[in-house]
């Protein structure tokens, strides 16, 4: 008796790709960290008064993380045409990420007294937007090389993960200090996974990906030497002088 072979779609099991899993992992840090310090308090009405740019910054960065997951899922589902059609929107969101990262850093600098770990935290904030901008531009340029393009998008996102990672460790684990080392180790673990996947898939690591890795790792070496100087403090105060926002709790 003849049997009918199952259709190809039925025989092929859907499996999440490396890039989708990475996007979900990064999003978990962002939404968990900011869920404890921003989304949760905002939902319960306990988030303190803040200038509108704080909320616009949050919307922009959350939108980027959602878009990263959606784009990775579309490629995973082989909906490449739809993935590409969202490219222009992605460029707009990525550009907003850079702008909002710069603006929120300047606003924060206008209210800080740089006590405690403040100088090191501002080092993270100052480095993140230009790092993301460089990596994002490299990813766009590499659009015709899908493997490199997708990896550079992941590396660009690693460059802006610090606030989410910090919050997960500080709020989730109850740490009473800013976990610079733990944050950098987590970022580097994501980065190492990207490098390993590219080497495993292609047999080599592209020059662009190595440059992207350097953009992530090299600034880490200069956090303490730079942020501990008076010149760095003067620079942060100069940034703060560019705006007139002040903490409403202090001025109200």
* pLDDT per residue as tens digits for the range 198-219: 999 999 999 999 999 999 999 9
Report the range of poorest mean pLDDT among 5-9, 77-81, 122-126: 5-9
As a whole number of angstroms, the distance between CA 125 and CA 235 comes to 13
Q: For the chain, what are the domain ranges?
A: 17-37+49-227
pLDDT of residue 248: 43
pLDDT of residue 227: 96
Q: Average pLDDT, stretch 228-249?
A: 81
Q: Is a pLDDT exceeding 60 seen at residue 132?
A: yes
As a whole number of angstroms, the distance between CA 240 and CA 107 comes to 6
Q: Which residue in 131, 75, 65 sits closest to 98, CA to CA?
A: 131
Q: What is the pTM of this model?
A: 0.89
Q: Among the residues of 142-229, which ranges form H helices?
A: 146-158, 162-167, 180-202, 207-217, 223-227
The tokens for 133 are 């901008």
Q: Average pLDDT, stretch 65-89?
A: 91
Q: Is 119 helix (H, G, I), strand (E, B) or coil?
A: helix
Q: Which residue in 24, 117, 10, 125 sits closest to 68, CA to CA?
A: 24
Q: Average pLDDT, stretch 83-94?
A: 91
Q: Average pLDDT, stretch 85-104?
A: 94
pLDDT of residue 10: 45
The tokens for 246 are 């002040």
As a whole number of angstroms, the distance between CA 89 and CA 63 comes to 11
Residues whose CB is less than 8 angstroms from the CB of residue 246 and which lie 6 or more positions away in sequence, other chains included: 110, 111
Task: Please report the DSSP string for 43-83 in residue order.
Answer: HHT-SPP--HHHHHHHHHHHHHHHHHHHHHHHHHTT-HHHH
* pLDDT per residue as tens digits for the range 27-45: 999 999 999 999 999 999 9
pLDDT of residue 165: 96
**For residue 12, what pLDDT band results from cuts at 50, 70 and 90?**
low
Q: What are phi and psi of 220, to 5 degrees?
A: -60, -30
As a whole number of angstroms, the distance between CA 227 and CA 122 comes to 8
pLDDT of residue 184: 97
The tokens for 189 are 């673990």
Q: Cβ–Cβ contacts within 10 Å for residue 185, how many?
A: 12
Q: How many residues in total does the chain contain?
A: 252
* pLDDT per residue as tens digits for the range 159-201: 999 999 999 999 989 998 999 999 999 999 999 999 999 999 9
Q: Is 30 exposed, middle or buried (0-12, 13-18, 19+ CB in 10 A)?
A: buried
Q: Average pLDDT, stretch 49-61?
A: 92
Q: How distant is the alpha carbon of residue 68 from its chain centre? A: 10
Q: Is 192 helix (H, G, I), strand (E, B) or coil?
A: helix
Q: Is a pLDDT exceeding 50 seen at residue 14?
A: yes
Q: Which residue in 223, 233, 220, 242 sits closest to 112, CA to CA?
A: 233
């Amino acid at each position: 008796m003849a049997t009918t072979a199952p259709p190809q779609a039925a025989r092929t099991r859907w499996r999440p790709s490396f890039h989708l899993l990475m996007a979900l992992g990064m999003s978990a840090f962002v939404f968990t960290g900011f869920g404890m310090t921003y989304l949760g308090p905002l939902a319960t009405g306990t988030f303190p008064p803040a200038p509108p740019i704080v909320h616009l910054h949050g919307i922009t960065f959350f939108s980027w993380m959602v878009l990263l997951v959606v784009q990775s899922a579309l490629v995973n589902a082989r909906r490449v045409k739809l993935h590409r059609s969202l490219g222009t929107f992605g460029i707009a969101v990525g550009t907003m990420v850079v702008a909002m990262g710069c603006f929120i850093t300047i606003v924060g600098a206008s209210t800080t007294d740089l006590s405690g770990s403040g100088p090191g935290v501002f080092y993270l904030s100052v480095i993140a937007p230009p790092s993301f901008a460089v990596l994002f531009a490299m990813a766009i340029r590499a659009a015709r090389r899908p493997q490199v393009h997708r990896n550079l998008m992941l590396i660009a996102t690693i460059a802006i993960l610090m606030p989410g990672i910090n919050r997960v460790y500080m709020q989730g684990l109850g740490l009473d200090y800013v976990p610079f080392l733990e944050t950098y180790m987590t970022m580097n673990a994501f980065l190492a996974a990207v490098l390993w996947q590219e080497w495993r898939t292609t047999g080599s690591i592209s020059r662009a990906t190595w440059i992207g890795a350097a953009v992530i790792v090299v600034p880490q070496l200069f956090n303490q030497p730079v942020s501990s100087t008076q010149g760095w403090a003067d620079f942060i105060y100069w940034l703060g002088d560019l705006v007139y926002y002040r903490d409403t709790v202090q001025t109200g």
